[in-house]
Structure 1
Amino acid sequence: MRPTGRHRPLPHGVPAAHGPEPRAAARHFARRRFLTLTAAAAALAFATHLPATGVAAARELDAARIAEDPFTLGVASGDPLPHSVVLWTRVAPVPYEPGGGLAGRAVAVAWQVARDERFASVVRSGTTLASPDYNHTVHVDVGGLEPGRTYYYRFRTGTWISETGRTRTAPAPGSAVPALTFAAVSCQAYHDGYFTAHRHLAQEQVDVVFHLGDYLYEYAVDSAGGARAYTDRILPDVFNRETVTLEDYRLRYALYKSDPDLRAVHAAHPFVVAWDDHETENNYAGAVDELGGPPVEFLLRRAAAYRAYWEHQPLRTARLPVGPDLRLYRRLHWGTLAQFDVLDTRQYRSDQAYGDGRHVPGPESDDPARTMTGPAQEQWLIDGWRASDALWNVMPQQVCFSQRRLDLGAEAPMFMDAWDGYRASRARILAGARSAGVENLIVLTGDVHVGCAFDVKDDFDDPASTTLGTEIVATSIASGRDGTARPANWATYLAANPHLRFYDGRRGYVRVGLDRRGARADFRTVPAVTSPGAPVSTAASFVTEAGNPGLVPV
């Protein structure tokens, strides 16, 4: 995310606020207006912009007539449960054209799941229809699988067979799982460099990957691929514009998913995905766009972005959006070892206070009515903690949770787009964790294009206060181009934030291992992304002991 620092104009009809009472009135107005416009946008979206939710009555294409490889965007799996996992692919022999070269016709796609890579022991199989309604994407929720084991899968249409993907199911409910290894990634701006870190992650032995947002960026990508500076190919002009329409977003996913490194990591591991802002537009908040335009117009854009997101991710059909609304927050379990509460900190949040950039917190940002998650998601999270029997409660989410003072002054600014702009909301979450008896809290974060490790404090302004948990921030895959181990503000940030235990500006990912004794986070980085093939190394490792929160370097 790239904070702009601009303050959005108020919607038409809302008076300028000069104190807490006018601001409260504006929020009340905005909420009522949002609810009305959400319903209106949903109707408009499906009437005039988006295809219907049912499968189209399109003529079926004879798959034997497909002359080019239709699996150009690879395969993926996700959201593993003990007895099921979602499989994904898209049929697109000409991926950089609207409709993928299939002229609006449906295609039959067969799928197989096996215990072995050679498919000698096939345990599940079937055939589904890749409909033009869903941009010829396929989402298969395969049930009847055994818990806690690895499977292999593939697709076929006509004479074409996809690459083989590897996935796994979650352990049986209530099982005393001894260990788990997962990875966290975020922020993969295609135009900023190669996805080299994904290629390395594909070779790691991890059980599942959490993608924490900014899977794609809405910004234009020129014919040379931006910082990739292609000399052996020319990208079509369809990418050299900002994404706004459903077709724009669909084509942008085609560009990203054609990347061989991204294809490799999806084929290697199941993913649990969550969006941030750039899957739609930079720094949006609920129904408010970056520049404060008419909410009804933005909700139409959001509907298109959410539809394309669902189409191109390994998500169950139950999460198909309705207009501009998609419930993405959800809960996954790994036996009694870990509970994962995946948040959506973008769709339900209050508008950023004082604009969306750097600002000293004040009455506006600290208003108790402000929310990052919305009240329903907040209650869902805390109720889930109260019912949890997991040793580790992990909260994958998008923006920096811990306090970050940006300079050493007594009145230091903070980023209003992160939880520092929603401090009352953060306080409620931490109070909920305490009341639920959560002893081993891990927050997973993306967004900021740097790797960080924080001790989550009861009082961030008091270094001696109780440590309540750990925050692990995954740096970007490519966003920000080539980084450095010590950014220019490295010393300032560490001095201004004693609870910040690690800060590194290079690209990469985080690998986290959990067991019954503790957790270990390895920050894996590459030295460059503007040229392909950079090696990976471990920049730092930290552990935290079960029942004794606080990071210790290894």
Structure 2
Amino acid sequence: MTPAGRRRALTSDTSSRHDPESRAAARHFGRRRFLTVTAAAAALAFSTNLPARGASGVAELDAARIPSDPFTLGIASGDPQPGSVLLWTRLAPVPYEPGGGLPEQYVVVEWEVASDERFSLPVRSGTTIAHPEYNHSLHIEVDGLEPDRVYYYRFRTGAWISETGRTRTAPATASAAAKLTYAAVACQAYHDGYFTVHRHLAQDDVDVVLHLGDYLYEYAVNSAGGARDYTDRKLPDFFNREVMTLDDYRLRYALYKSDPDLRAAHARHPFVVTWDDHETENNYAGDISENNDPPQEFLLRRAAAYRAHWENQPLRSAQMPSGADMRLYRRLQWGSLAQFDVLDTRQYRSDQAYRDTKHAPGPESDDPARTLTGAAQESWLIDGWGASQALWNVMAQQVCFSQRKLELGAEAKMSMDAWDGYRASRRRVLDGAKAAGVENLVVMTGDVHVGYAFDIKEDFDDPASATLGTEFVATSVASGRDGVARPSNWDTYLKANPHLKFYDGRRGYVRVALDRRTARADFRTVSAVTTPGAPITTAASFVTEAGNPGIEPV
């Protein structure tokens, strides 16, 4: 279908929930604003070379003149490797102002890594520059570390010292690592509630966190913080519109990263991040926007979103965007125990079939030419499985991989935004896994604001067909507000999808523990996010055995 013939439908069971009136008003204002700043956005979004020190007349800012704490957005680490960690921070003494309250000058920042929390056993240190061109963000790739070790880190500029972060390296690639525990989170709409889930995650004992997308939302956030209903503070009016420009995206990251619970999770654990749609725009597909904007206009917006994403996430230089393109898919190893293939299912996908409405599969959605990953990423994934020496192959990605009928009957409708709308693409991936001899496939998913556990079937319409792997879907951190254990469609979904073994509609995260025999998933949920401080419980636990695909309750 051509872009001109396409009209998006926003449905309640995907990540497109929002307030229609606020969105319409915000889009009217935001689009007008966006068109007036196209030239400026282009100049920023398409400039990718790291500026040289003092280039273009930019001078050094005396850090002693920074009047308040510049580490208001916290610190983070990411993408652990056997001898290396990536450390991140962004200087913003006034986070809700363009530029973070700093002038267009570079700032010298010191960093430290130690074996102990008191920094009495220093390991690595250095000095770097926070450039205004990158919104004073820092991405420090620290090499020469020991594999499979916990480290502590911090930053300093002038008289200001950041909080202390805890991170770790991965085991040596060929080592027979005995165990790994990771958590998966997704979908954290600030305006839908507090990030209580992240507070509990910060207190959990995990080695790494997978963030599976929708780290932020482009929708308007009113002065009361939406469902947070602030009474002791008021957010600036510029948050109350849809994000469009580079400054908009940067400020929206500042809003999210100033949340103390999210800051705590980042400081405690290394993150492996990927995006879904809302980091840019709801349900976009490649260069096709939700509302059929001219591609050249939408790509400007995409470039701004991608640049702000890199600036504000613990990502390595290999992920630095080039204009409207960014190589986000990548591979990480945890010794010979696990291989993580981190996918990008937004940037390269074909347009959603049937105008992105709920629809039964048909000739349009089943066209073999359609792809969710793009040809290059699909080949990279399958080739990587062929070369994998890992016991567990974990595919970290965004939208439901397993078939998910939304109603009963032979012609049941499905989501055209998920893999059900790209069944030929899914078939190629599963056939590739089989050809590569992948026996222990674990798919990690976000997007739908509920927790699921699926058996991945050879033929989803035949319950007796072979089970090829397991899919664990992490519910949202806040999106969808509080949720309930059994949504209204709970019974229908379980009857329509015999391979669906668990369904819970509350907020939370999934924790997965891998060892040489089993993978165990614990679905952790909170009772509410519209009020802070809710306790966390384990809603259900499942286990799958190595060499014996299929999940069983614990």
TM range (shorter): over 0.9
State the secondary structure of the residue aligned to 1:358.
coil
1:129 counterpart = 2:129: yes
Structure 2 counterpart of 1:53, from 46, 49, 52: 49
Name the residue aligned to 2:276: 276
Task: Give the drift of 1:315.
Answer: 0.5
Alpha-carbon distance between aligned partners in 1 of 2:47 and 2:400, rounded to the nearest angstrom: 36
Alpha-carbon distance between aligned partners in 2 of 1:296 and 1:406, rounded to the nearest angstrom: 35
1:117 counterpart = 2:112: no
Alpha-carbon distance between aligned partners in 1 of 2:60 and 2:448, rounded to the nearest angstrom: 45
1:9 counterpart = 2:33: no
The runs of 5 or more residues in structure 2 that have no matched partner are: 7-37
Name the residue aligned to 1:31: none
1:44-123 alignment to 2 at 5 Å? 46-47=42-43, 49-55=45-51, 57=55, 58-123=58-123
Task: Give the drift of 1:48.
Answer: 6.4
Moved more, 235-244 or 49-58: 49-58
Query: CA offsets, 1:182-241, max 9 Å, x none?
Result: 000000000000000000000011000000000000000000000000001000012111
Seen in structure 2, the aligned counterparts of structure 1 residues 48 and 444 have a Cα distance that, compared at 3 Å, is closer
Task: Give the drift of 1:47.
Answer: 3.6
Task: Give the drift of 1:154.
Answer: 0.1
- Is this contact kept in 2: 1:60–1:105, CA < 8 A? yes
Alpha-carbon distance between aligned partners in 2 of 1:438 and 1:512, rounded to the nearest angstrom: 19
State the secondary structure of the residue aligned to 1:93.
coil
**Residue type of the alignment partner of 2:451:** G
1:240-319 alignment to 2 at 5 Å? 240-319=240-319
1:334 counterpart = 2:329: no
Task: Give the drift of 1:355.
Answer: 1.5
Alpha-carbon distance between aligned partners in 1 of 2:484 and 2:3, rounded to the nearest angstrom: 33
1:379 counterpart = 2:379: yes
1:399-414 alignment to 2 at 5 Å? 399-414=399-414
Moved more, 56-65 or 500-509: 56-65
Moved more, 349-358 or 297-306: 349-358
Task: Give the drift of 1:521.
Answer: 0.1
Query: CA offsets, 1:349-396, max 9 Å, x none?
Result: 000000123111100000000000000000000000000000000000
State the secondary structure of the residue aligned to 1:385.
helix
Task: Give the drift of 1:410.
Answer: 1.6
Task: Give the drift of 1:409.
Answer: 1.7
**Residue type of the alignment partner of 1:473:** V
Moved more, 45-54 or 275-284: 45-54
- Is this contact kept in 2: 1:398–1:447, CA < 8 A? yes
1:146-225 alignment to 2 at 5 Å? 146-225=146-225
Task: Give the drift of 1:67.
Answer: 1.2
Alpha-carbon distance between aligned partners in 2 of 1:535 and 1:250, rounded to the nearest angstrom: 32
**Residue type of the alignment partner of 2:73:** L
Alpha-carbon distance between aligned partners in 1 of 2:543 and 2:208, rounded to the nearest angstrom: 20
Seen in structure 2, the aligned counterparts of structure 1 residues 44 and 364 have a Cα distance that, compared at 3 Å, is farther
**Residue type of the alignment partner of 1:184:** A
Task: Give the drift of 1:54.
Answer: 2.6
**Residue type of the alignment partner of 1:54:** L
**Residue type of the alignment partner of 2:472:** I
- Is this contact kept in 1: 2:60–2:107, CA < 8 A? yes
Name the residue aligned to 1:344: 344
Alpha-carbon distance between aligned partners in 2 of 1:328 and 1:278, rounded to the nearest angstrom: 15
State the secondary structure of the residue aligned to 1:53.
coil
- Is this contact kept in 2: 1:43–1:323, CA < 8 A? no
**Residue type of the alignment partner of 1:412:** A
Name the residue aligned to 1:520: 520
Name the residue aligned to 1:440: 440
TM-score by length of structure 1 reads 0.92
**Residue type of the alignment partner of 1:60:** E
Task: Give the drift of 1:53.
Answer: 2.5
Alpha-carbon distance between aligned partners in 2 of 1:60 and 1:339, rounded to the nearest angstrom: 43
1:492 counterpart = 2:487: no
- Is this contact kept in 1: 2:48–2:323, CA < 8 A? no
TM-score by length of structure 2 reads 0.92
- Is this contact kept in 1: 2:456–2:468, CA < 8 A? yes
State the secondary structure of the residue aligned to 1:79.
strand
Name the residue aligned to 2:16: none
**Residue type of the alignment partner of 1:380:** W
Task: Give the drift of 1:292.
Answer: 1.6
Alpha-carbon distance between aligned partners in 2 of 1:343 and 1:331, rounded to the nearest angstrom: 9
Alpha-carbon distance between aligned partners in 2 of 1:105 and 1:318, rounded to the nearest angstrom: 25
Name the residue aligned to 1:27: none
**Residue type of the alignment partner of 2:51:** V
Name the residue aligned to 2:430: 430
Query: CA offsets, 1:253-290, max 9 Å, x none?
Result: 00000000000000000000000000000000000000
State the secondary structure of the residue aligned to 2:304.
helix
Alpha-carbon distance between aligned partners in 1 of 2:43 and 2:110, rounded to the nearest angstrom: 32
State the secondary structure of the residue aligned to 1:153.
strand
- Is this contact kept in 1: 2:42–2:300, CA < 8 A? no
Name the residue aligned to 2:320: 320
Alpha-carbon distance between aligned partners in 2 of 1:8 and 1:225, rounded to the nearest angstrom: 35
Alpha-carbon distance between aligned partners in 2 of 1:537 and 1:142, rounded to the nearest angstrom: 36
Alpha-carbon distance between aligned partners in 2 of 1:168 and 1:553, rounded to the nearest angstrom: 31
Query: CA offsets, 1:468-494, max 9 Å, x none?
Result: 000000000000001000000000000
Alpha-carbon distance between aligned partners in 1 of 2:50 and 2:525, rounded to the nearest angstrom: 44
Name the residue aligned to 1:461: 461
Alpha-carbon distance between aligned partners in 1 of 2:546 and 2:127, rounded to the nearest angstrom: 46
Task: Give the drift of 1:317.
Answer: 1.5
RMSD: 1.6
Query: CA offsets, 1:147-169, max 9 Å, x none?
Result: 00000000000000000000000
Name the residue aligned to 1:367: 367
1:378-397 alignment to 2 at 5 Å? 378-397=378-397
Task: Give the drift of 1:7.
Answer: 10
Seen in structure 2, the aligned counterparts of structure 1 residues 200 and 244 have a Cα distance that, compared at 3 Å, is same
Alpha-carbon distance between aligned partners in 1 of 2:237 and 2:49, rounded to the nearest angstrom: 30
State the secondary structure of the residue aligned to 1:191.
helix
Tell me the percent identity. 76
Alpha-carbon distance between aligned partners in 2 of 1:352 and 1:216, rounded to the nearest angstrom: 22
Seen in structure 2, the aligned counterparts of structure 1 residues 161 and 503 have a Cα distance that, compared at 3 Å, is same
State the secondary structure of the residue aligned to 1:415.
coil
State the secondary structure of the residue aligned to 1:289.
coil
State the secondary structure of the residue aligned to 2:498.
coil
- Is this contact kept in 2: 1:9–1:291, CA < 8 A? no
Alpha-carbon distance between aligned partners in 2 of 1:261 and 1:350, rounded to the nearest angstrom: 36
**Residue type of the alignment partner of 2:532:** P
Alpha-carbon distance between aligned partners in 2 of 1:488 and 1:214, rounded to the nearest angstrom: 24
Name the residue aligned to 2:30: none
